[in-house]
Amino acid sequence: MTWSDQFSRDLSSGSSSPIFLLHVLKYAGTPGREFFICSSPGYGVPEAVGIEVQMSGSAVSPQGWRYTHGTCSVEVVAESISNLAYSAIRGSICVVKMGFPGYSLGEFEPIYCGVVNNITGSAPSWNITLFDATYLLTSRLSFGAADRSNQNNLFYNVGGGTSYTTTVASSGGSGPEFTKNSSTTLDVTDASIFEKLSGSGTTGALIADNGTHDQFVLLYDNISGNQIQGISTLDKFGTRQRNLNAGDTLFNAAYLEGDPRVILLRLLISASNSSTLYDKYPDSWGYGLPIDLIDVDEVINVQTVLRSALSSGSYVLQYVQSEQVTNSWIWLSSWFKSLGIIPVQRQGLISMRAIQDPSKRLFWSGYHISDDDIESVSNWSAYHPEMVAEYQQAEIFTGSHDPDVAALSFPTTYSVPATLPVADTVSYLAADKISQNQTAIANEIKSRVGLWGPNIAEVVTLQCAGLRLAGLAPADMVYLSTEALKGGRINATRSGYSNQPCMVLKVATDFVGGRVTLELAAIDPL
């Protein structure tokens, strides 16, 4: 969802006296208890005067696409906040909502979702610090079996093993009991360890080890009792099937298939029991986030645009996860970064953004920033400090299930360097995900990310009056026109900024002071 038209108009008009609602959420597996506090009376919840909200903002750095979690500071003026402190336990999930006089509670919009880090201060001034919602993606919510010590790890059941037990495909004699590229069933000691997407006609994965440490992937359709059925006879994910004998080990694996939207939403929502549409993965594969913390409509919108940008075919990814994940944020952000996609917080909810070529944008935020918005230019940098080298090309790698077929490379045109130091290639390693419609998907990704390797962005930080721009998120695209910057380094900005396409790198909002700080990156087209 996006903010309502009325809320956006009130933000843009500079409506006075914003009203803030802090809602401490309580879900199974999270600390604390549900609690409300509001900056205005008349809403049926405890009132605390002087609530102020200020966000440092999350940020993304170009080229490496490292995402930095933002923070939110909620200042509360009250003689005592013991009830709030009792409820807002460290790690609790909080949503900050905002409205204006005359709004009903249902018309308030989320401006921040986060995790409680600390509460500091002394009467009558207290400060609650929240990490942004993407911090929730550093581990699963504690759903699942209480006796599993690792249940905060994503894919915590992946890697569990059992043994192959009986002859299935041989007709007697001394030959192998499971014949490579021929047998379609396996009897195992304990099939309960294996997990797959719920529903009939879905595919599961396991890892087989015949003792030679040359493991291979088997895809299957069904489990009946302790028998694995409908095993594909084809070599999968660059591995080659081997013969198996009784006693050989089989390991549970996770098989993810679908477009980026489907995979992301299933990962986030599964184990939450909040969506029949996306709660489809086994609990151990999912973050367990309630669907109302996720901007499902916007994630779908991004994927719709990416799909429309394909030259042909479908946007289907296939991936096998063979071990549990101890740092799920690093895993998730890296997984999607290889596709030129970034999980972000947008308008108070978890969402998804695609890296873009500003000169060939697929998405536009709808915002044109002008001197009417700008209070001051607080900083300009000729080179983004985290873009430490100019790459001469960007390269997308895709793969094939067939182990005899090497990974395919889709590089951009080699670029003559304009700066020093120089590096050769920035790579997007998607060979473990893209095995169908490789050319079309790789070229789609390359068209968005290819600009950011061979070029170094110049960066400008703007202080903007009002809250019109508060809805922007990292990786959004805006246009910038201003007389405050008379020139720049790149060709497009040497004569000044006029309808210059820029990528938003960081958004920091002072909702009480009515000010938005933006960090923008501008870059020359190839």
- Summarize pLDDT for 431-447 with one digit per residue, the tens: 999 999 999 999 999 99
Q: What pLDDT sits at residue 170?
A: 43
Give the integer Cα–Cα distance in Å for 501 and 519.
13
Side-chain-side CA neighbours of residue 126 (13 Å): 16
Q: What pLDDT sits at residue 50?
A: 77
Give the integer Cα–Cα distance in Å for 342 and 300.
14
3-state secondary structure (DSSP) of residue 299: helix
DSSP 495: T
| Beta-strand relationship, 186-187 and 227-229 | antiparallel
Considering the domain boundaries, does residue 348 fall inside one?
no
Do 97 and 177 share a domain, yes or no? no
Count of structural domains within the chain? 4
Residue 387 C-alpha from the chain's centroid: 22
Q: What pLDDT sits at residue 150?
A: 79
Of 356, 339, 351, the closest CA to residue 132 belongs to 351
Q: What pLDDT sits at residue 382?
A: 95
- The residue among 110, 138, 166 that closes a domain is 138
Mean pLDDT for 387-405 is: 92
**In sequence order, which ranges of 275-410 are alpha helices (DSSP H)?**
296-308, 328-337
Do 361 and 466 share a domain, yes or no? yes
Give the integer Cα–Cα distance in Å for 491 and 481.
15
Q: What pLDDT sits at residue 302?
A: 96
CB contact at 8 A, 470 and 511 = yes
DSSP 248: -
Give the integer Cα–Cα distance in Å for 134 and 332.
11
* Average pLDDT over the chain, rounded to an integer: 91
3-class secondary structure for 48-106?
Answer: CCCCEEEECCCEECCCCCCEECCEEEEEEECCCCHHHHHHCCCCCEEEEEEECCCCCHH
pLDDT over 90 percentage in the chain: 77
Give the integer Cα–Cα distance in Å for 509 and 145.
40
Do 94 and 114 share a domain, yes or no? yes
Would you say residue 309 has pLDDT above 80?
A: yes
Would you say residue 144 has pLDDT above 60?
A: no
Measured CA to CA in angstroms, residue 119 lies from 51, 110, 330, 412 at distances of: 14, 21, 27, 49
- The residue among 452, 471, 503 that closes a domain is 452
Give the integer Cα–Cα distance in Å for 384 and 467.
26
Mean pLDDT for 494-515 is: 94
Q: What pLDDT sits at residue 145?
A: 43
Q: What pLDDT sits at residue 147?
A: 47
- Confidence at 27, pLDDT banded by 50, 70, 90: confident
Q: Which domain holds residue 375?
A: 356-385+456-522
Mean pLDDT for 402-425 is: 91
- Tell me the pTM: 0.94
- Which residues on neighbouring strands pair with residue 127, listed in sequence order? 75, 120
Give the integer Cα–Cα distance in Å for 59 and 69.
7
- Confidence at 164, pLDDT banded by 50, 70, 90: confident
Phi and psi (nearest 5°) for 369? Answer: -95, 130
Radius of gyration (Cα) for the chain, nearest Å? 26
Q: What pLDDT sits at residue 171?
A: 44
Residue 290 C-alpha from the chain's centroid: 15
Residue in the structure block whose two tokens are 């920091």: 508
- The residue among 452, 472, 495 that closes a domain is 452
Do 61 and 166 share a domain, yes or no? no
Would you say residue 281 has pLDDT above 50?
A: yes
Do 152 and 226 share a domain, yes or no? yes
Considering the domain boundaries, does residue 10 fall inside one?
yes
DSSP 188: B
Would you say residue 176 has pLDDT above 70?
A: no
- How many other C-beta atoms can be found within 10 angstroms of the C-beta atom of residue 359? 12
Do 444 and 479 share a domain, yes or no? no
Do 249 and 365 share a domain, yes or no? no
Do 234 and 364 share a domain, yes or no? no
Q: What pLDDT sits at residue 1?
A: 61
Do 109 and 234 share a domain, yes or no? no
- The token pair at 390 is 């100019």
b/e code 16-25 from CB counts within 10 Å (16+ = b): eebbbbbbbb
Mean pLDDT for 360-389 is: 94
Do 401 and 481 share a domain, yes or no? no
b/e code 465-489 from CB counts within 10 Å (16+ = b): bbbbbbbbbbbbbbbbbbeebeebb
Interacting residues of 46 by C-beta distance below 8 A, sequence separation 6+: 36, 37, 38, 83
Considering the domain boundaries, does residue 485 fall inside one?
yes
Do 20 and 35 share a domain, yes or no? yes
Do 220 and 77 share a domain, yes or no? no
The verdict on whether omega for the bond into residue 101 sits within 30 degrees of 0, i.e. cis, is no
215 versus 145: the higher-pLDDT residue is 215
Mean pLDDT for 495-500 is: 94
- What CATH number is associated with residue 365? 2.40.30
Give the integer Cα–Cα distance in Å for 418 and 70.
33
Residues 447-457 pLDDT 10s: 999 999 888 99
Measured CA to CA in angstroms, residue 163 lies from 174, 177, 224, 236, 273 at distances of: 19, 13, 16, 21, 32
Of 12, 20, 58, the closest CA to residue 37 belongs to 20
Of 458, 475, 477, the closest CA to residue 522 belongs to 458
Would you say residue 174 has pLDDT above 70?
A: no
Query: Within the chain, how many helices (H) and strands (E) appear?
Result: 6, 28
Give the integer Cα–Cα distance in Å for 190 and 225.
9
Considering the domain boundaries, does residue 158 fall inside one?
yes
Give the integer Cα–Cα distance in Å for 218 and 210.
13
Mean pLDDT for 31-42 is: 91
Q: What pLDDT sits at residue 332?
A: 97
Measured over the CA atoms of residue 186, residue 278, residue 64 and residue 416, the dihedral's sign is: positive
Residue in the structure block whose two tokens are 């599964």: 270
Least confident of 2-11, 134-143, 338-347, 516-525: 134-143
Considering the domain boundaries, does residue 347 fall inside one?
no
Considering the domain boundaries, does residue 171 fall inside one?
yes
Q: What pLDDT sits at residue 415?
A: 83
Please provide the size of the chain in residues.
526
Give the integer Cα–Cα distance in Å for 202 and 100.
48
Tell me whether residue 214 is exposed, middle or buried, using C-beta atoms within 10 angstroms of its C-beta: 0 to 12, 13 to 18, 19 or more. Answer: exposed
Mean pLDDT for 146-165 is: 82
Interacting residues of 259 by C-beta distance below 8 A, sequence separation 6+: 303, 306, 307, 314, 315, 316, 317
Considering the domain boundaries, does residue 349 fall inside one?
no
Considering the domain boundaries, does residue 123 fall inside one?
yes
Measured over the CA atoms of residue 265, residue 267, residue 272 and residue 275, the dihedral's sign is: positive
- The token pair at 237 is 């994910």
Give the integer Cα–Cα distance in Å for 459 and 524.
12
Give the integer Cα–Cα distance in Å for 277 and 295.
14
Of 368, 294, 347, 360, the closest CA to residue 472 belongs to 347
Phi and psi (nearest 5°) for 222? Answer: -155, 155
Q: What pLDDT sits at residue 80?
A: 86
